[in-house]
Amino acid sequence: MSTFTLDTATSRATPSPVPGKRMTVPGIKGRKKDGTTERPIVMLTAYTMRTAQLLDPHCDLLLVGDSLGQVIYGLPSTVPVTLEMMCAHGAAVVRGSWHALVAVDMPFGSYEASPEQAFASAARVMKETGCAAVKLEGGEAMAPTIRFLAERGIPVIAHVGLTPQAVNALGGYGARGRSEAEAAKILRDAQAVADAGAFAVVLEGVMEDLATEITGKVAIPTIGIGASAACDGQVLVTEDMLGLFERTPRFVKRYDDLATRIGEAVERYAGEVRDRSFPTADQTYRPKT
């Protein structure tokens, strides 16, 4: 099985042994009461065990996003990401966390053909990773699939607005909902996935006033990324907000500049190796005296 207990005596992986304390789907959904969320939902992406360990104490939700295709594998989009990739990284994130609810993205081509295909893929993801939910893109067209999954015990986070898996059809990554017709369609999408049984919906790259309107009209929590501060929660790609890439999307606030700091640390290491000042006696093994 992918979800096994690690030997903490020999592994760097030492998740806190606090069973039964994870956030739950009802807990996340229940944050929104009577149309408002007093305590916003904190969500970040995680693709590795160690990242999960560092993010887990501070987050309500960890998303194993198909953005790993670009962030981890250097792919041009999320389209080439496979179910095998999602399962491998999802299992690592579950092993590295104990508090946050872990959701795993359904990759392109793993759910669109039919509700039955979606169920088979989602069941595999949940079995192999130990995650608590899956996320899939699409609005009205995917509502029957969301209902099919929810009725069979698979919690679903929906995703509307800018849907990266449909980048070829959309013609790029620009903000959505600029025209009245497109805004009305996104609003219908959000209402449809909520009515179908999704317990939360990601609003990506939509105009601020539209995201605010949707948040006020749907009963489930909205999680914004390039949307509105009025959303019931927020999500970012962790590597973006930590400044690990030179390019920063408009909707990202950089909370650090780790790319520069890592570069400086490696530069110091390389210099010490070349001038033979590393390793020192503190990093080498010598006979005991």
Residue 217 labeled ligand binder: no
Residue 195 labeled ligand binder: no
DSSP symbols for 144-181? HHHHHHHTTT--EEEEEES-GGGHHHHTSS--B--SHH
**What is d(CA 16, CA 53) in angstroms, rounded to the nearest whole number?**
9
Considering 84, 128, 180, 204, which one is annotated as catalytic? 204
In the chain, DSSP finds a helix count (H) and a strand count (E) of 11, 10
Is the Cβ–Cβ distance between 126 and 149 less than 8 Å? no
- Which residues touch 197 (CB under 8 Å, ≥6 apart)? 146, 147, 149, 150, 151, 156
Is the Cβ–Cβ distance between 231 and 216 less than 8 Å? no
Q: What are the tokens at 21?
A: 């304390």
Q: Which amino acid is at 288?
A: K
Told to judge if 213 belongs to the known catalytic residues of this protein, a careful annotator would answer no
**What is d(CA 74, CA 228) in angstroms, rounded to the nearest whole number?**
29
**71 by DSSP, 3-state: which?**
helix
Q: Which helix (H) or strand (E) holds 45?
A: strand 41-45
Measured from the Cβ of residue 269, the count of other Cβ atoms closer than 10 Å reads: 11
**254 by DSSP, 3-state: which?**
coil
Residue 137 labeled ligand binder: yes
**What is d(CA 177, CA 183) in angstroms, rounded to the nearest whole number?**
4
- By annotation, the residues acting in catalysis are 204
Binding annotation for 3-methyl-2-oxobutanoate: 66-67, 105, 135
Binding annotation: 66-67, 105, 135, 137
Binding annotation for Mg(2+): 66, 105, 137
